[in-house]
Amino acid sequence: MKEQPVPERLQISPFLVFYLVMSMQIGIGVLGYQRIIAMDAGYDAWISILFAGACIHVIVWMIYKIGDTVGGDIVTAHKYVVGNFLGKALCFIFIGYFILYSLTVVRTFIEVIQVWMFPELSTFWFSFGFMILCVYIIFGGFRTVVGTAFFGLVLPAYLLLTFGWAIKFSNFYNLLPIWDHSIKELLTASYHMSLTFIGFEIILFFYPFIKEPKKSQKWAHLAVLTTTLIYTILAIITFAYFSEDQLAKQIWASLTMWKIVEMPFVERFEYIGIANWNLIILPNVCISIWIASRLIKRVFNIRQKVGVFFVVAAVLSVIHFLDTREKINMLNNYVGKMGFAFTFLYIPLLFAAVMIAKKLKKGKKK
Amino acid sequence: MPSIHKFSKTGNNKRNAENDGDFPMRNWLKNKRIKEDIQHKDWEKSLIKSKDFKKIFYYNQKTNVRFGLTFMATLIDENIIQDGVLPNLLEEEFREIEDIKQLVPVADVQICDDPSLIEQKLLNGYVMLTIETELKHFGFIAAQKEIVRGLSQPEVEFSVIGPKEAFVESMGQNLNLIRKRLPVKELIIEEFKLGSLSKTAVAMLYMEDITNEDNVNTVRQRLTNVKFDAITDSSYIVQLISDNSNSPFPQLLDTERPDRVAGILAEGKIAIVVDGSPHVLITPTTLVEFFSSFEDYFLNWILSSFFRLIRLFAVAFSILITPIYVATLSYHYELIPKDLLSTLITSRREIPLPPILEALFLELTIELLREAGARLPTKVGQTIGIVGGIVIGTASVEAGLTSNVLLIIVALAALASFTTPVYRMGNTIRLLRFPFLFFAELWGLLGIVFCFCVLLTHLIRLTSLGRPFLEPLYPPRVMDMKDALIRLPFEKQSKRPIFLRTKNPIRFSRKKAKEKKDIDE
Amino acid sequence: MKKLILLCLVLLLSGCVDKEILDDINIEVGVGYDLADDLKDKYRGTVLFQEFQPDKSVINRTFSGSGKLRQDLLLEVTKQSSEPVVTGGLKLAVFGPELSKKGIYDLVDSFQRDASIGARVFVATSEGKAEDMLNGEYGTRGNSTYIYNLIQHNIEHRDIPKTNLHILANDYYQEGKDPFLPRLKKLDDDKVEIAGISLFSKDREVEVLPVKDMFFFKLLVDKYSEGNFDVKLKKDELAAVKSLRSKHKIKITDHHASITINIEGIIREYTGDKLASEVVGAVQKNLEKKVEKECLRLLKQFQELGIDPIGLGQMKKSKHRNFDFKKWEDDYKTLSFDVKCNVTIEETGVIE
């Protein structure tokens, strides 16, 4: 299929990349990541977060270099390196990856609702309704998806302030002494942050939709920086609020922290927070379905609308079978590992390959 | 070719249709001529059935030329004929059709030879002048009678301070009000005739060197593509040229105030005036404009920003409060502060209905009151409205059908929904409450957020004239926010809104407008 | 458009979720646990409900049952109640004395596991049976509201240190700190009073601090506190001091803990004649001495009992890497203390 440039009316301004990356990174991991990273690195895990964030900046830089060199998205990059057919075949994995990712996000969110709010909520029907909403959004075009990401970040931003109530009951001495764990433990914790942190790699997939992509690079870096800071601050507050063994038992530490919030007109805030979380994960699911269907279009030449239905059907058919905590946990771990492999292993590889291919092509031209 | 009949008003000019089977060519010619003749006289045939079709013949006193005046009596102003036209035609010398141009003191006098125009002109209030000696040409004299409602105060967009002129039904009058306020050559008025039966005159206004060409072309194209039979109001145009007619949100703003139209034309938007409608349409428009009343520009900017924020809060309150009540009482009792808990439980003790039915009952009652109040004549309507509201409210609480807490909430929500300055949006708000109620009943707070997501997506997808409806909220344009949710003082509004992509974005030179002085200078 | 219609139809078909309509449920507002009389059950629990009458008055209703788990109790209670029982409104949990001595960990864990129980629940021990405590008619707004407000304002302005379910769980799991709970006593059928502080070692109650020690305890435990104390001066004159602000600083070295307490207060009442500045100075000095003496005594008492409600272990850990809590347990026994107190009396009321 020939490379068609994306028409200008479908492209987005560069600064909107900030909202896209940030809303994709902040998803379902935020609710319970503190326990996972504290498992290895204890209360020094906030250092691991900063370290992971720094690594991500490097990866983002690489992504922009790739996009800049090949002038397109990941399919173009593959074609640049290994040719047409193989390039398309490699993308096949990513379709599966993003379908799994959207499945994970939806199922984990429904699990949270089932544990905290409505134990009898039917998994299938709620995800059906949710998927219809996602289809409605994606059919509005990429701009609608970006709009959802924008509002999914701006409107629930006040939730960050609600964690301030926990500070009253916190003891920041919990964090001392700093660097009480070995470097290996800290690195392991960084590794475990991966499911929470991934989301920035989507830039590779919508690169041609950005107007003047070079200008958007600083926004992408700003987004990763902000997310890292938010996660670090939240982790610090969590560590100060809970004692270590107490945190080890909290599956969803952020939600438990909301139990202490008390406002004059609302007695228990966590229900409002969880309901608002719907708005936060909506862009995550929409973006991944959009990417999956766009990859289907690029690889198989099927219309994107048909691709969307295919992805939605795949998610809905599998979601019913994930009914226990272990299965969901396993899925989360699996997707986390895949995400880690993709972002920290595959992208540098691709970067190297593109650079080599570029040098070779230059040599050939001469 | 009209034939002149001597002293006859009825046109019985039937030719016998001979069936001459032997000479097909001749028959064909005969039939053709018959058809032509009948065609030419068709207009007279159907017009004659109307009582107001008049045809009068006069003799010019000087030259003895006989001429006839044909007109629709209900459409013309008799005074123009009696005092202006007839004396000149009767007493002055004229022999040929061209003379009337100098004789008749009316500006719009045309001489045509195209018979197909006759019907149109006669029905538009022209008087047709025919001369016995002249068979090909005839003259049209404009003598329309304009019955216009006098200028009155705006009904919907009433403002305490500021001009109180409102548009009326006559397009000429309306255009006069607008031109008066923008006496520059850049103001262009293009006219279209829409509607196959109503032939309504629709005018498109824009400022030539400010408005974006694409917008103008789009509006022009959409207007010319309108296919409808009777267009009696600008609302028809709204629905026919909207981007998405399935959306409850209006995509064109309508206004009754000439000052508002002048303001938006200066911003670079396009106004559409429809003959017969006192509402002028404005396009392209955004969501935040529906919540700004023009009075905001007459008050101090701090006050008007505050009032705008109150309005937005009122709208959010009005849509969300009843669903939150239903959701909280049905699913989330833990959310209620413990002091309020006793009030709510005791108020609901006697009620046999679950919260959703209670809420629906009250909402429907309020809608009924509103609809009934709108249909009843003024004097009866007010009494029934007040008495009905109070009596029904109190009685339903006492009967134990609703709780008093819910009654207050619903009444406040209804009140809050009246704060929208634009009537169209107020109706939309009324409607929006019901899907939220439905979702609140289904999934509690989660349902409310879910429904909000659906609403948000719909708004993101909505476009007005191809421009995003949610601008400047999304895509976020900080520069445009200065007149969206708050209103900054005029000195800061030196640029036109970005989303209009105007040709000339600068309103006035800011540097010249504001010079900074030191304390003791 | 078609999608919206499809969405609506689908959602109508899907099952709704279970409703808990406000006036059709029985909200559990307080719960009390005692040891069961016969051995086959573990607990005897009392659940307190609030019923609101149309004239806004409240009827307290209690249901009691026995069982091995908290859920068994709820099940038994549900069998007797005309409306479904929900636990989201829980504000107060009381443990009887024998149960406190035996261990309360299971119940605390059960509270934590339940998503509908908030973190601001007040947990307390009682001097008599918890069942008797909840079976009274206190105040006009319901028993649990009464006791809840009682504890609440005593925390804010008087001598109870900050406590709630979250702090209890936090302290329990924290190595180097032991939890404590306020202790209630039922005086009459319509009165409840604070009777002291229960000190726990892990999850077993080991000691009860009397009311007169609560002021000092709060100074040691809470970083910033308010409290009240009477100071005896010579000539049998008494002055009542209300501390508006107090801060403590704890420094721990290997074998020594030194605690500095700063109190800013006002004199509320004075039984002598004239409150001259020498008298104020005397009050200050006497208070300082008293604080130092009592705090030292308390610290030694904790050391003997082997508990650490102030959290010295936790503080020591924050200064050292690779802290060994086993070693600390031995070190704690030989720790020496010194307490220094600085009192500033700011105002003395409207008259002199």
All residues of chain B having their beta carbon less than 8 Å from the beta carbon of residue C13 are none
| Cβ proximity of B153 and B159 under 8 Å | no
How many whole angstroms separate alpha carbon A140 and alpha carbon A305? 11
Count CB neighbours of B86 within 10 A: 15
Residues of B with CB under 8 A from a CB of C: 246, 328-331, 333-334, 336, 338, 341-346, 348-351, 354-355, 438, 441-444, 454
Cis (ω within 30 of 0) for the bond into B497?
no
All residues of chain B having their beta carbon less than 8 Å from the beta carbon of residue C152 are none
**Residue A363 domain-assigned (yes or no):** no
How many whole angstroms separate alpha carbon B521 and alpha carbon B311? 42
For residue A2, the model assigns a pLDDT of: 45
Question: What confidence tens digit (pLDDT) does each residue in A208-259 have?
Answer: 888 888 888 899 999 999 999 999 999 999 999 998 888 988 889 999 999 9
Higher pLDDT, residue C209 or C139: C209
Beta carbons of A118 and B331 less than 8 Å apart: yes
All residues of chain B having their beta carbon less than 8 Å from the beta carbon of residue A129 are 450
User: Which tokens in the block code for residue C291?
Assistant: 């604080």
How many whole angstroms separate alpha carbon A305 and alpha carbon C223? 61
Residue type, B361: F
What is the DSSP-derived secondary structure letter of residue A199?
Answer: -
User: Could you tell me how many helices (H) and strands (E) chain B has, helices first?
Assistant: 16, 12
| Cβ proximity of C90 and C28 under 8 Å | yes
Domain that holds residue A343: 8-357
Measure CB to CB from residue C22 to each of B338, B345, B438 and give the nearest one. B345
How many whole angstroms separate alpha carbon A206 and alpha carbon A75? 11
Mutation site, A17, A125, A137, A285, interface B, largest B CB count within 10 A: A137
CA atoms within 13 A on the CB side of A173: 16
Query: Nearest chain A Cα to B341, which residue?
Result: A267
Query: Nearest chain A Cα to C116, which residue?
Result: A116
**Residue A282 domain-assigned (yes or no):** yes
**Residue A259 domain-assigned (yes or no):** yes
User: Which tokens in the block code for residue B453?
Assistant: 């997501």
User: In B331-403, which residue ranges form alpha helices assigned H by DSSP?
Assistant: 338-348, 355-375, 378-399
Domains and CATH numbers, chain C: 23-211 (no CATH), 223-351 (3.30.300.210)
CA A279 to chain B, closest CA, distance in angstroms equals 7
Question: What confidence tens digit (pLDDT) does each residue in C233-259 have?
Answer: 777 777 888 877 888 888 888 788 888
A157 touches chain B (CB under 8 A): no
All residues of chain A having their beta carbon less than 8 Å from the beta carbon of residue B474 are 147, 150-151
For residue A23, what are the β-bridge partners? none
CA B284 to chain A, closest CA, distance in angstroms equals 17
Question: What confidence tens digit (pLDDT) does each residue in B150-175 have?
Answer: 888 888 888 888 888 889 888 888 99
Highest mean pLDDT: which range of A185-199, A283-297, B112-126, B153-167: A283-297
Cis (ω within 30 of 0) for the bond into B284?
yes
- Helices A213-241 and A16-25 pack at an angle, to 10 degrees, of 40
**Residue A185 domain-assigned (yes or no):** yes
User: Could you tell me how many helices (H) and strands (E) chain C has, helices first?
Assistant: 11, 13
Locate tokens 């145009």: which residue? Answer: B237
How far CA B396 is from CA of A168, B390, B392, C54, C193, in Å, comes to 46, 10, 6, 17, 46
Residue type, A333: N
Beta carbons of B334 and C22 less than 8 Å apart: no
Beta carbons of C86 and B333 less than 8 Å apart: yes
Largest CA distance in chain C: 91
**Residue A107 domain-assigned (yes or no):** yes
For residue C7, the model assigns a pLDDT of: 65
How many whole angstroms separate alpha carbon A219 and alpha carbon A225? 10
CA B464 to chain A, closest CA, distance in angstroms equals 15
How far CA B270 is from CA of B187, B190, B350, in Å, comes to 10, 11, 57
Beta carbons of A267 and B476 less than 8 Å apart: no
Residue type, C92: L
**Residue A3 domain-assigned (yes or no):** no
Nearest to C268 by CA among C211, C215, C156, C345: C345
CA A320 to chain C, closest CA, distance in angstroms equals 14
CATH number at residue A335: 1.20.1740.10
User: Which tokens in the block code for residue B293?
Assistant: 């009343």
How many whole angstroms separate alpha carbon C114 and alpha carbon A218? 45
How many whole angstroms separate alpha carbon B353 and alpha carbon B356? 8
Nearest to B108 by CA among B135, B144, B72: B144
Judged by DSSP in three states, B72 sits in strand
All residues of chain B having their beta carbon less than 8 Å from the beta carbon of residue A144 are 457, 460-461
How many whole angstroms separate alpha carbon B322 and alpha carbon B434? 9
All residues of chain C having their beta carbon less than 8 Å from the beta carbon of residue A262 are 120
Phi and psi torsions of A150, nearest 5°: -60, -50
Give residue A99's pLDDT band: very low, low, confident or very high (50, 70, 90): very high
For residue B7, the model assigns a pLDDT of: 39
Beta carbons of B460 and A147 less than 8 Å apart: yes
What is the DSSP-derived secondary structure letter of residue A345?
Answer: I
- Annotate C288-347 with three-state secondary structure: HHHHHHHHHHHHHHHHHHCCCCCCHHHHHHCCCCCCCHHHHHHHHHCCEEEEEEEEEEEE
Mutation site, B245, B346, B443, interface C, largest C CB count within 10 A: B346
Query: Nearest chain B Cα to A116, which residue?
Result: B332
In chain A, the number of structural domains is 1
Measure CB to CB from residue C88 to each of B333, B344, B349 and give the nearest one. B333
A265 touches chain B (CB under 8 A): yes
Beta carbons of A151 and B454 less than 8 Å apart: no
All residues of chain A having their beta carbon less than 8 Å from the beta carbon of residue B247 are none
Residue type, A23: S
| Cβ proximity of A21 and A102 under 8 Å | no
For residue C3, the model assigns a pLDDT of: 65
Length of chain A: 366
Give residue A145's pLDDT band: very low, low, confident or very high (50, 70, 90): very high
* Touching chains, C (3+ CB pairs < 8 A): A, B
All residues of chain A having their beta carbon less than 8 Å from the beta carbon of residue B332 are 271
Nearest to A275 by CA among B323, C110, C9: B323
Interface predicted TM-score of the whole assembly (ipTM), two decimals: 0.92
Q: What is the pLDDT along chain B (521 residues), one digit of tens a residue?
A: 444 434 334 434 344 344 444 566 666 666 555 544 444 456 677 778 888 888 888 887 777 778 888 888 888 888 888 887 788 777 777 777 777 777 777 777 888 877 777 778 888 888 888 887 777 777 888 888 877 788 888 888 888 888 888 898 888 889 988 999 989 988 989 998 888 888 888 999 998 888 888 889 999 999 988 888 888 888 888 888 888 888 889 888 889 889 889 988 988 889 999 988 899 999 888 888 888 888 888 888 888 889 888 888 999 999 999 999 999 988 888 888 888 888 888 888 888 888 888 899 888 988 888 888 778 887 777 777 777 778 888 888 888 888 888 988 988 998 888 888 888 888 888 889 999 998 998 888 999 999 999 999 999 998 888 888 888 888 887 777 777 777 777 777 777 777 777 777 777 776 655 566 777 76
Q: What is the DSSP string of C101-151?
A: HH--HHHHHHHHH-TTS-S--EEEEESS-HHHHHSS--SSS-HHHHHHHHH
The answer to whether residue A366 scores a pLDDT higher than 70 is: no
How far CA B34 is from CA of B37, B49, B136, in Å, comes to 5, 21, 19
User: Which tokens in the block code for residue B495?
Assistant: 């640029």
Radius of gyration of chain C (CA): 24
| Cβ proximity of A249 and A269 under 8 Å | no
Phi and psi torsions of C48, nearest 5°: -105, 125
* Touching chains, A (3+ CB pairs < 8 A): B, C
User: Which tokens in the block code for residue B335?
Assistant: 């959310």
Q: What is the DSSP string of A134-147?
A: HHHHHTT-HHHHHH
Query: Nearest chain A Cα to C6, which residue?
Result: A132
CA atoms within 13 A on the CB side of C75: 7
Mark which residues 266-285 of A lie under 8 Å from B by CB.
266-268, 271-272, 274-276, 278-279, 282
How many whole angstroms separate alpha carbon C160 and alpha carbon C151? 8
What is the DSSP-derived secondary structure letter of residue B278?
Answer: S
